[in-house]
Structures are given as C-alpha cells and as structure tokens.
Copies of this chain bind each other. A is one copy, B any other.
Amino acid sequence: MEFRWSKAEKKIAKQAFDLAYKRKCQKIIEQIKKRKLSNNEDIWTLGDYIHKKRKEIDRKFDYRYSQLILVFSTFIKENLLSLEDLAGLNNEKIDTINKILKL
C-alpha cells in the first residue's frame, strides 16, 4: 500500500506509533510485575517471556511508511491504539484502516 504522507500526517503517525509502543511496554511491565518469582525456574521463564516480547516488538513495530497503515490496524486490533489516536490522517488512510479492521 503506497500512500503519500504529508508533514502533518507524519507527525501524527509518529506520535501514535510512540504511544502504541509506550502502551505495549506498559502491558509487558504489568505482566512482569504480576509474576511471583518463587522458584528458580521462574527466572528463566521470565527471561524467555521478555525475549519473546522483544522479538514480537521488533516484528510488529515497523515504522516504514509502506507498512504503517497495516501496522496501525494491528495496533488497533490489539487495543494499543484507537482510531481517535489517528485523527488527522486523511480519509483514504482511515478508510483503508477501517477496511482492514473488518477483514
């Protein structure tokens, strides 16, 4: 999907992306804090969890403009963003996101 991104839209996109990252990290931190760490094995389970989350973030947080509409759609599906967070993107982009969300 190739869209043109205006300067104003790029700013909105960057803010939304950073917000999604912040929320994602917050969720991870909550999950980590819930862990009891009572057995030795819990250390390595926690390490594996963080490793998995790092790989997930590397994969999902792709800030290429060619990917961004798909990326934002995924964030919305995962409750990391709402459409309101993307207010200011042009209709074509919002429509495309809405179509992806209905898939």
Chain A positions near chain B (C-beta within 8 angstroms): 21-22, 25, 28-29, 32-33, 37, 40, 42-44, 46-47, 50-51, 53-54
User: Can you report 9 residue pairs joining A to B where beta carbons are below 8 Å apart?
Assistant: A25-B40, A28-B43, A29-B42, A32-B37, A32-B46, A43-B53, A44-B50, A46-B50, A47-B50
Copies per complex?
2
Q: Which residue of chain B lies nearest to A52 when distances are taken between CB atoms in the complex?
A: B47
Q: Which of B29, B43, B44 is in CB contact (< 8 Å) with A43?
A: B29
Q: Which residue of chain B lies nearest to A51 when distances are taken between CB atoms in the complex?
A: B47
Q: Is the CB of A32 within 8 A of B43?
A: yes
CA distance in complex: A25, B44 (Å): 10
Give chain B residues whose Cβ lies under 8 Å from the Cβ of A42. 29
The answer to whether residues A25 and B43 also contact, given A32-B37, A33-B37, A37-B32 and a CB cut-off of 8 A, is: yes
CA distance in complex: A77, B50 (Å): 31
